[in-house]
C-alpha cells in the first residue's frame, strides 16, 4: 500500500522565526478496515439508488415492466396472488370482490362505469318458477348491481356487468330442469316475455362446476327488438339464496369481431369465499 504523509509547520518559540517540519499523520497508518469501508460507501449508494429505481419502476408499472415480470410467472401463482387486480397480466385485469364473493377477468383497458350497473339490473331474470311465484309476491326482491365495465369512449353497448339478486330460500337450479330447459324458461318468462316486443333466440346452454362443486349455468342468446339486436353471453350461480349473474353483451353486428375478447370473461367468472371488509 502506498504511503503518503501530510506535513505541517510548528513554531518553536514565539520569539524566533525558526520552524521545523513535523509529520502529523500518514495514510499508511490507517487500518485496512478503514480503507475498505471508505471504498464500499460509493457502492452502497449505487446499490441503494438502483433498488429505489427498481421499486419505483415496478410499483408504477413503468413501461409495463411489472406486467411483463408477472407474465413470466406461472399463471397459477399470479391467480393465487391476485396481483392482476392492480397490474394487467396477459392483457387482462381481475375484478375481485371478497366481500360479495366473486371474481372474473376483463380486458385491461376497460373502465368501470356506474351507469352500466343500472342497465344491468333490468336484465336479471326472476327465478320464481311454478308454485314459488306466490311466495315471491309477498316480498319484493331487490336486484343489486355490483359491477360494470366497458371499453373507454364508447356508448356502453359493449359491456360486462354483475348483478346479485335474492331467490326463494332453498332454491336450486334443478328446480328449473336441465340447462337448456332452464334457459328457455328464463327467456320466455323474464328476458323476452309475451307482450314485451322482444324476441329471444337461444344459441347455447351449458352447465359447469368448479373445483369446490359450485354449479354454474351458462347461456348464450340473442335478443332483438324493432330497434336493436344484441348478443348476450351470461353465467348464473346460486349460493346462500343469492343469484349471481354475469352478463356480457354486445351488438350482434360486433359480436363476431370481438368474440375472442368477450367470451373469456364469462369463462373466468367464479364464486370465491366471502371475507369481511376491512377499512
Q: pLDDT per residue over 173-211, tens digit each?
A: 878 889 999 999 999 999 999 999 999 999 999 999 999
pLDDT value at position 204? 97
* 219 and 202 Cβ atoms separated by less than 8 Å: yes
Q: What is the mean pLDDT of residues 136-150?
A: 65
* 218 and 208 Cβ atoms separated by less than 8 Å: yes
Model-level pTM? 0.67
Confidence band for 124, pLDDT divided at 50, 70 and 90: low
Q: What does the block give as the cell for 36?
A: 475498505
Q: Over 70: is that where the pLDDT of 15 sits? A: no
Hunting for cell 356480457 — which residue is that?
248
* Distance of alpha carbon 112 from alpha carbon 131, whole angstroms: 39
Q: Over 70: is that where the pLDDT of 63 sits? A: no
The torsion angle over the Cα atoms of residues 219, 262, 93 and 212, rounded to 10 degrees, is: 20
Instruction: Give alpha helix (H) positions in 100-149.
Output: 114-121, 132-138
The H or E element spanning position 260 is: helix 252-268
Tell me the Cα Rg of the chain.
34
* Distance of alpha carbon 176 from alpha carbon 184, whole angstroms: 10
Instruction: Calculate the alpha carbon distances from 82 to 103, 148, 173, 213 in Å.
Output: 10, 19, 30, 22
- Per-residue pLDDT of 237-279, as tens digits, reads 999 999 999 999 999 999 999 999 999 999 999 999 998 765 4
Amino acid at each position: 500500500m502506498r504511503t503518503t504523509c501530510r506535513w505541517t509547520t510548528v513554531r518553536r518559540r514565539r520569539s524566533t522565526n525558526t520552524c521545523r517540519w513535523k509529520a502529523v499523520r500518514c495514510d499508511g497508518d490507517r487500518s485496512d478496515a478503514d480503507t475498505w469501508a471508505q471504498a464500499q460507501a460509493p457502492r452502497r449508494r449505487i446499490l441503494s439508488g438502483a433498488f429505489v429505481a427498481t421499486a419505483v419502476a415496478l410499483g408504477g408499472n413503468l413501461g409495463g415492466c411489472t406486467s411483463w415480470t408477472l407474465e413470466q410467472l406461472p399463471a397459477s401463482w399470479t391467480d393465487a396472488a391476485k396481483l392482476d387486480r392492480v397490474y394487467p397480466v396477459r392483457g387482462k385485469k381481475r375484478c375481485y370482490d371478497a366481500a360479495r364473493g366473486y371474481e372474473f377477468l376483463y380486458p385491461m383497458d376497460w373502465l368501470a362505469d356506474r351507469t352500466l350497473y343500472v342497465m344491468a339490473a333490468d336484465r336479471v331474470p326472476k327465478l320464481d318458477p311454478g308454485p314459488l311465484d306466490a311466495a315471491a309476491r309477498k316480498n319484493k326482491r331487490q336486484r343489486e348491481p355490483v359491477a360494470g365495465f366497458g371499453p373507454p369512449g364508447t356508448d356502453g353497448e359493449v359491456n360486462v356487468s354483475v348483478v346479485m339478486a335474492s331467490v326463494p330460500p332453498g332454491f336450486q337450479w334443478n328446480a328449473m330442469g336441465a340447462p337448456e330447459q332452464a334457459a328457455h324458461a328464463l327467456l320466455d318468462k323474464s328476458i323476452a316475455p309475451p307482450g314485451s316486443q322482444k324476441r329471444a333466440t337461444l344459441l347455447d346452454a351449458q352447465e359447469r362446476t368448479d373445483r369446490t362443486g359450485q354449479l354454474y349455468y351458462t347461456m348464450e342468446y340473442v335478443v332483438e327488438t324493432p330497434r336493436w339486436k344484441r348478443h348476450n353471453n351470461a353465467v348464473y350461480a346460486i349460493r346462500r339464496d343469492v343469484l349471481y349473474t354475469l352478463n356480457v353483451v354486445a351488438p350482434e353486428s360486433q359480436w363476431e369481431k370481438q368474440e375472442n375478447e368477450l367470451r373469456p370473461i364469462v369463462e373466468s367468472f367464479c364464486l370465491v369465499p366471502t371475507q369481511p371488509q376491512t377499512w
